Amino acid sequence: MVASTLAQIPAANTVSQFLSDQPELILASTQSWGELGWNVAAHAGDKPGEPLRIGERVFSKGLGHHASGSITVLLNGAFTVFDAEVGLQPCAAVGSVIFRVFVDGEQRFESPVLHSGDAPVAVHVAVAGAMELRLEAADSGDGISCDMANWANARLTRSASPAVEKADQRVDMGRFGRVVTWDANRNDGSRADRIQEFRAEDLFLERDLAGDSGGRFTLPAATNQLACVGLQWLNRRALREARLGFASATQVPPTNAVRVEGWFGESAWQGEFKPLAGNLVQAGNELVFHVAARADKGGLLQTRKLRWIFSAPNGPPVVNRPQAYTRSRWAVTNLVVQFANPDKQATAEVEITNGELLPITGKPWRVSMNSPKQLQVRYARLSPLKSDPTVLQFRLPGGAFGVAVEDVLRNGSVFLPDHGLLVTTEASKMSISEAERKVAAAKTILQEVRQMPDQTFAQAMEKTHHVAQSEGPVMLSLSCDNAKFVVERDGRVRFHTNIVTNTDWFKDAGELRPEFGEGRAQLIARQLDGGWLPSLVMTFLNAGATYSERSFVAPCDEPGTNPARLNRRSVCVTEFTLSNEQAKESPARLALNFLVNSREKKTASIAKCPQGWLVSGEQGPLALVTSAAESELTATIEGDKLVLAGMLPSQGTARCVVFLHARDEDLLNLPSFAKLRDAFESHWNAALAPAMQIQTPDPLLNDVIRSSQVRCLIDARNEAEGQRVAAWIAAMHYGPLESEAHSVIRGMAFFGHEDFSRRSLDFFIHRYNTNGFLTTGYTTFGTAWHLWTAGEHHQLYQDQTWLRAAAPEMARVGEWIVRQSDKTLQPAAEGRPESGLMPPGVIADWNAFAYHFANNAYYYAALRELGEMLTTINDPRGTMFAERAGQLRSNTLRAYHWTQARSAAVELRNGAWTPHYPSQVHSPGALADFFPGQDAGRSWCYDVEIGAHQLVPTGVMEANSREVDRMLEHMEDVQFLSDGWFDYPATTNHADWFNLGGFSKVQPYYTRNAEIYAMRDEVKPFLRSYFNSLAAMLNPEVLTLWEHFNHSGAWDKTHETGYFLHQTREMLVQERGDELWLTPLITSNWLKDGMKVAVTNAPTRFGRVSYRITSHTRDGVIEARIEPPVRSVPKAIVLRLRHPDGKALRAVTINGQPRTDFDTRKETVRITSEATKPITIRASY
């Protein structure tokens, strides 16, 4: 049937209509932060938007957008002019945006760079006869912070004589959905939320219907004589018309007895069926429903499920396959398919989705691969909806994948060299050999990196690091202690009068607020004492006087035999030093304000005492202030503040100390400042003593490594008198999430913090619920991450006593995992790709349920590790769990290839194309296209941070497989150079791809590419990712890591820190099967003449190992001494020695004896028979 593709539009008039009043015209909207504001500014999903403002003006109408992103508007030739006033919403920081307007892909308007506070700029663009309008808000190159882009008074003027697009033959999209039935009496989906077990009865609410030989379907009827039939697609469809044909006119129900419903919700499992607005008519044996364009909550209506419900009093009705037509526009083109070096007998199978191969046969085409084949294709024209992409699906002897028709039309050709497939337009004359030469002449990012010099930390800090990451406070405490203090960048010290262990810590915190001189002082330096100790030193300057503030938390009880023990009594010590470095005397003033509750502005009282001044609240003393007796300054109490003021002589100093108690310590009987300082240093030296000790030639990196361990210890809390440790994933945000906390635990375990790791695992073991899974209120995904981490901990430490105590509970969790995967094996799942997988759910913030491949990969690792652990203690369940792990791995790979076969190939930097690597079972393509704008504009990152590459470190995929090669190539070429969240715009990333690439652009440490490079023995790519990620996230003042770019998200995010620690350990010590590798991934820059690299007490699966490498390259020698592990002997110890000038190994002696077992290409020395005793190696070049 032929019909127009025009949207339903009100009667023509020439009146301007606000876009915010016509949400059905918005085809798609994307933005890098928040949600689109309708007549309000862009806003977070859980908060209302502010009124629209630009400069001094307030607007009642418009769209509140945010860069980087676009809004695409359906015009369909019905309008003549677009008008708006554009500018930025006032924000805490100054944003900058470039506004652009495109009409049918052609740019018609571009603003200058506009900033917060600028007056609105008028936009007037002719759109007569146009089909689509795209409004783009672009970052100006300085990151997206505060890029609140308002399209105020955005309006369209309707044409008096709208253009009518020529009607093309439309395509029935019902052919690409499943024909299913549902319980007509149930409207909702899953009745479990994100932290509950998925109910088996909610998994398959639809049931596939099988057609007869004539393509008709007999419908079951419910007990109340309601019949139901419909369509379910993998993605949402912008429906325009639906049709349902019956076997005979007598079966057609009256229109007033029919409901047509669509599915609305976060996912295919979360939501409900709701009646669709529109017009239903009968046409012979058919029911025809014209779907209203506007969704119930505004915007263009899109749905992934469509169902018809009607009364069937006369027995089971027989219907034709339901039909559905969308708002896509269609065209016909001719393509040519060629194959490289085909087997003469080989054939390829070609199918199409969301389009038609002409002439239509209704079956897949089988074509010979030994000659070019021409295909005539009806395809959906490119649309921002991206819901009906026409994809050719190829099944070749070497694999199955898709090619998007639009990709061929846009590029002229698509060439997949790994599969020898070339698809071109009819006009293109490109041959296979020409395509091969084109690819060979260009390089991917990884090919370039492998030929570049090693990245260095210094270069990354110069080129990759952005100064905005220096913002943010720092938290202080003893190791794993529950008494916390926070020091802000302006010198404020935040504290509590009682122990608070939840994430609402700041709500009722007290405050010590210093004032440095009169007016605002300038912060000129902030750093850690000794480079890494958690003693914050800040220096301020005001009117010639210098003010220094030093804060640390010290134990104030006796150290005993273990200075690092938990729950010691402690006090926060803040030392203020005022100095005058001028040649003449200078006024100086320090005022100390104390608030018991900074939110309620409750002031404390200050009274003189023999030791100084005692600061008290309603519940008793809070702080003690002491001052040197010889001070030149006079102390006075002025209302609620203590003021030290006077004239400081040239080179003179004055000093006072504030002691804030943590647990009702006796402030009047504290040890001296000097003793507290000694106790502080002793505590932290003892806390790090059992761990791996590292010395590299890079002092800053050494400090970051030590400080990172300290941050994990400080951010943690404890319970049950210290028996269990809560590994918080950030200093003051989120708490000990059951998922991300295991990055912290794992990183610390691999660094030798056995006790911390065990107590942290016990914290979660204690929280297994009665069902047998783990959640602290974020996900159930953490259940898998937990068991995987527990397995790695056991491999490192082999603590059988701990394991035997924990095994019954761990096995109970394993049995829960098995029960869950059994749910998707029910008969309704037969033949479905999700059969045998874990039920759908969430794995991070995004609340949309899905069959994430990463989720299943982590559960595979969990069952594998559980099986191995139980086997070591002769628990017979170990074998069962190992077998079930293997089954889950197989099912995951099967589902992965099912989705990959339906996904369009993606392009690499060198012009080659490669099969897509999907992240969810039912999303064959980019998640940004399936779920535009979701998760605060971050849905695309679930293809990256938690995408398919997670199958590699979990062991589902082989690290060195060609599949992983292609995956990493595309991540580096495309994903890592895309626009970042809050910073790192794509234009600058591409301009400096070496320094601004190698890490993902939302939350880099979630992405485990560096770990995969380590597994693949890719030294240069590893070093680039390692240093670039660290430089991008590091606060160089206090050596903490941010969650996101541009000081966004959580400060001191130890989830990121845990990954950094693990990467550092892999760089220096790595197990590869039954071999132990030392310095496998270090930069050759660390082996320049006179440099040393040393590791002491590193835990491995074989036991603890230590080594020291000293470079004498000026003499042509590098020496190493190794103390090998003694618990078990590795098959070989492999030492990599990368000469800084690239010179090849010439000779090697081991314990004075010549050896020939070295590899000049890999730059390694292999030690076998000597691996049981101390080893001295001399490598000559």
Residue 185 is part of a domain; what is its CATH number?
Answer: 2.60.120.260
* Inter-residue long-range contacts of 365-369, CB under 8 Å, 24+ positions, other chains counted: 367/337, 368/342, 369/339, 369/342, 369/343, 369/396
Instruction: Answer yes or no: are the C-beta atoms of 298 and 280 closer than 8 Å.
Output: no
Q: Give a yes or no: residue 694 inside a domain.
A: no
Q: How much of the chain exceeds pLDDT 90, in percent?
A: 86
The SS3 of residue 522 is: strand
Answer yes or no: is pLDDT of 730 > 70. Answer: yes
User: Given this model, what pLDDT does residue 164 score?
Assistant: 59
Given a cut of 70, whether residue 319 has pLDDT beyond it is yes
pLDDT of residue 1: 28
**Residue 664: what pLDDT?**
82
Reply yes or no on whether the pLDDT at 98 is more than 90.
yes
Query: What pLDDT is attached to residue 163?
Result: 61
Residues 301 and 345 in one domain: no
The answer to whether residue 740 is domain-embedded is no
- Backbone φ, ψ for residue 805 (5° rounding): -70, -35
Structural domain ending residue among the three candidates 655, 688, 721: 688
pLDDT tens across 127-172, in order? 998 888 999 999 888 888 899 999 999 999 999 887 655 555 799 9
Question: Does the structure show a pLDDT above 80 at 1170?
Answer: no
- Using omega within 30 degrees of 0 as the cis cutoff, is the peptide bond preceding 20 cis? no
Predicted confidence at residue 957, as pLDDT, reads 99
Q: Are residues 322 and 334 in the same domain?
A: no
Claim to verify: residue 218 and residue 277 sit in the same structural domain: yes
Phi (first) and psi of residue 52, to 5 degrees:
-65, 130
In a domain, 1151, yes or no: yes
Tokens 């070295």, located at residue: 1158
SS3 272: strand
Q: Are residues 208 and 301 in the same domain?
A: yes
Q: Measured over all CA atoms, what is the biggest interatomic distance in the chain, rounded to whole angstroms?
A: 107
Could you tell me the CATH number of the domain that includes residue 1169? 2.60.40.1180
Question: What pLDDT score was predicted for residue 396?
Answer: 95
Does 647 lie in the same domain as 508?
Answer: yes
Give the domain-ending residue among 326, 346, 367: 326
Range 944-950 average pLDDT: 98
Q: What is the pLDDT of residue 815?
A: 99
Q: What is the pLDDT of residue 501?
A: 85
Instruction: Catalogue the long-range contacts made by 629-635 (C-beta closer than 8 Å, 24 or more residues apart).
Output: 631/655, 631/656, 633/578, 633/588, 633/590
Asked whether 72 and 27 are in contact (CB, 8 A), the reply is: yes
Q: Which amino acid is at 151?
A: W
Position 1111 pLDDT exceeds 90: yes
In a domain, 82, yes or no: yes
267 pLDDT band, cuts 50/70/90, is very high
Q: Are residues 920 and 1011 in the same domain?
A: yes
Q: Is the pLDDT of residue 7 over 70?
A: no
Higher pLDDT among residues 554 and 497, named by residue: 554
Adjacent-strand bridge partners of 294: 300
When pLDDT is cut at 50, 70 and 90, the band that residue 392 belongs to is: very high
Tell me the average pLDDT of the chain: 95
Give the pLDDT confidence of 571-593 residue by residue, as tens digits.
999 999 999 999 999 999 999 99
Distance CA 310, CA 918 (A): 38
As a whole number of angstroms, the distance between CA 534 and CA 927 comes to: 42
1054-1068 and 741-750 helices cross at what angle (nearest 10)? 30
69: nearest Cα among 124, 132, 126, 150: 150
355 and 305 part of one domain:
no
**How many domains does the structure of the chain reveal?**
6
| 854 is a domain residue | no
The 3 state secondary structure assigned to 936-987 is HHCHHHHHCCCCHHHHCCCCCCCCCCHHHHHHHHHHHHCHHHCCCCCCCCHH
Instruction: Examine residue 68 and say whether the peptide bond preceding it is cis (omega within 30 degrees of 0).
Output: yes
> What domain range includes position 378?
330-441
Q: What percent of the chain has pLDDT over 70?
A: 98
Indicate if 540 and 684 belong to the same structural domain: yes
The owner of tokens 């008028």 is 122
For residue 334, list its beta bridge partners.
376
* CATH number of the structural domain spanning residue 130: 2.60.120.1060
Compute the radius of gyration of the chain from its Cα atoms.
33
> Given phi > 0 = left and psi -120 to 50 = alpha, else beta, which region is 911?
left
Q: What value does the mean pLDDT take over residues 278-299? A: 92
What is the C-alpha separation between 553 and 574, in angstroms, rounded? Answer: 9
Residue 439 has pLDDT above 80, yes or no: yes
pLDDT-based confidence at residue 473 (cuts at 50, 70, 90): very high
Q: Residue 819 above 80 pLDDT?
A: yes
Predicted structure pTM score = 0.92
Same domain (yes/no): 187, 287: yes
pLDDT-derived band at 629, boundaries 50, 70, 90: low
Length of the chain: 1181
Q: Are residue 570 and residue 640 in the same domain, yes or no?
A: yes
758, 794 in Cβ contact below 8 A? Answer: no
pLDDT tens readout for residues 1038-1056: 999 999 999 999 999 999 9
Of 168, 163, 174, residue with least CA distance to 328: 168
Shared domain for 1047 and 1086, answered yes or no, is no
In a domain, 449, yes or no: no
Give the CATH number for residue 596: 2.70.98.10
Residue matched to tokens 């590798």: 1077
Q: Is residue 883 part of a domain?
A: no
Q: How many CB atoms lie within 10 A of CB 614?
A: 20
Tokens 């945006």: give the residue. Answer: 97
Q: Which of the two residues, 47 and 492, has the higher pLDDT score?
A: 492
Query: Measuring CA to CA, which residue among 308, 352, 311, 305 is closest to residue 332?
Result: 352
1169 HSE (CA, 13 A, CB side): 5
Q: Is the pLDDT of residue 6 over 70?
A: no
CA distance 376 to 359: 8
Closest CA to 1061 of 697, 701, 734, 536: 701
> Rounded mean pLDDT of 1146-1171?
94
Domain final position from 308, 326, 344: 326
As a whole number, mean pLDDT of residues 721-732 equals 97
Same domain, 337 and 361: yes
Q: Is 1066 a domain residue?
A: no
pLDDT class for 555, splitting at 50, 70, 90?
very high
743: confidence class by pLDDT, cuts 50, 70, 90: very high
| Cα distance between residue 815 and residue 866, in whole Å | 11
Amino acid 14: pLDDT: 58
Please state which of the ranges 135-139, 598-602, 771-775 shows the lowest mean pLDDT: 598-602
Q: What tens digit of pLDDT does each residue of 103-127 get? A: 998 999 999 999 999 999 999 999 9
* Euclidean distance between CA atoms 721 and 900, whole angstroms: 51
